[in-house]
Amino acid sequence: MSDAPRSLVVVRATPLYLAVGLVVAGLAAGCTNDGVNTDGNASGGSTGGASGETTAATPNGHSTDTGSDGALDDTSTADTGSDGALDDTSTGPGGSEESAATGSSDGSDSEATGSSTGATDTGGFVECPDGDHYCADGCCPWTTEVAIIGTGGVLALDTQDYPHVVVRHGSSNTARSWRFTGAEWVFQTIQEVPPNGPISNTMLLDDNDLPHAAFPYSSGLRYASYDGSSWTAEQVDTGLIRTPSLARDSQGTLGISYSELMVDDLRFAQRTEKGWMVEVVDEIGAVGRDSSLAWGSAGIPHISYYNETTADLMHATRVGLNWATETVASEGDVGTDTSIAVDTDGNLAIAYYDVTSADLRLARRDAGGVWSTELVDDAGDVGRSSSLQFDNEGVPHIAYHDATNLRPMYASVVEGQWRVFVVDPSGDAYEDTDLVLDSLGQPHIIYSSTSAELHYVRW
The dihedral built from the CA positions of residue 396, 360, 302 and 226, taken in this order, carries a sign that is negative
For residue 197, the model assigns a pLDDT of 60
Place 415 in a pLDDT band, splitting at 50, 70 and 90. confident
Q: In Å, what is the CA distance from 6 to each residue of 76, 98, 119, 335?
A: 12, 5, 40, 44
For residue 425, the model assigns a pLDDT of 81
Share of the chain above pLDDT 90, in %: 56
Between CA 280 and CA 288, with CA 284 as vertex, the angle to 5 degrees is 60
Q: Whole-angstrom Cα distance, residue 135 to residue 36?
A: 11
Average pLDDT over residues 173-191: 92
Place 456 in a pLDDT band, splitting at 50, 70 and 90. very high
Q: Whole-angstrom Cα distance, residue 96 to residue 2?
A: 5
Q: Where are the domains of the chain?
A: 1-157+175-199+228-235, 158-174+200-227+236-458
For residue 31, the model assigns a pLDDT of 33
Identify the helix (H) or strand (E) that includes residue 210. Answer: none
Place 130 in a pLDDT band, splitting at 50, 70 and 90. very low
Provide the terminal-to-terminal Cα distance of the chain, rounded to the nearest Å.
37
For residue 65, the model assigns a pLDDT of 31
Instruction: State the average pLDDT for the chain.
Output: 75
For residue 144, the model assigns a pLDDT of 74
Q: Whole-angstrom Cα distance, residue 275 to residue 243?
A: 21
Average pLDDT over residues 63-88: 32
- Whether 406 has a pLDDT exceeding 50, the answer reads yes
Q: Whole-angstrom Cα distance, residue 36 to residue 45?
A: 10
- The answer regarding whether domain 158-174+200-227+236-458 maps to CATH 3.55.50.30 reads no
Burial class of residue 298 in the structure, from the number of CB atoms within 10 Å of its CB (0-12 exposed, 13-18 middle, 19+ buried): exposed
Residue 444 · residue 165 · CB < 8 Å = no
pTM of the model: 0.76
Q: Whole-angstrom Cα distance, residue 383 to residue 374?
A: 13
The overall longest dimension of the chain from CA atoms, in Å, is 68
Residue 76: which of 65, 90, 60 has the closest Cα?
Answer: 65
- Whether 118 has a pLDDT exceeding 50, the answer reads no
Q: How many CA atoms lie within 13 A of 415 on its CB side?
A: 8
Average pLDDT over residues 155-161: 97
Amino acid identity of residue 62, one-letter, is H
Q: Whole-angstrom Cα distance, residue 306 to residue 54?
A: 51
pLDDT: which is higher, 430 or 6: 430
Max mean pLDDT among 50-64, 191-205, 402-416 falls in 402-416
Q: In Å, what is the CA distance from 252 to each residue of 212, 237, 271?
A: 12, 21, 10
Which region among 78-92, 232-246, 383-397 has the lowest average model confidence (pLDDT)? 78-92
Residue 281 has φ and ψ, to the nearest 5°, of -90, -45
Amino acid identity of residue 249, one-letter, is D
pLDDT tens profile 217-227: 888 999 999 99
For residue 401, the model assigns a pLDDT of 96
Place 6 in a pLDDT band, splitting at 50, 70 and 90. very low
Which region among 198-202, 203-207, 272-276, 302-306 has the lowest average model confidence (pLDDT)? 198-202
- Whether 264 has a pLDDT exceeding 90, the answer reads yes
Annotate the chain with three-state secondary structure.
CCCCCCCCCCCCCCCHHHHCCCCCCCCCCCCCHHHECCCCCECCCCCCCCCCCEEEEEHHHEEEEECCCCCECCCCCCCECCCCCECCCCCCCCCCEEECCCCCCCCCCCCCCCCCECCEECCCEEECCCCCCEEECCCECCEEEEEEECEEEEEEECCCCCEEEEEEECCCCEEEEEEECCCCEEEEEEEECCCCCCCCCEEEECCCCCEEEEEEECCEEEEEEECCCCEEEEEEECCCEEEEEEEECCCCCEEEEEEECCCCEEEEEEEECCEEEEEEEECCCCEEEEEEEEECHHHCEEEEEEECCCCEEEEEEEECCEEEEEEEECCCCEEEEEEEEECCCCCEEEEEEECCCCEEEEEEECCCCCEEEEEEECCCCEEEEEEEEECCCCCEEEEEEECCCCEEEEEEEECCEEEEEECCCCCCECCCCEEEECCCCCEEEEEEECCCEEEEEEC
Q: Whole-angstrom Cα distance, residue 148 to residue 383?
A: 24
For residue 21, the model assigns a pLDDT of 19
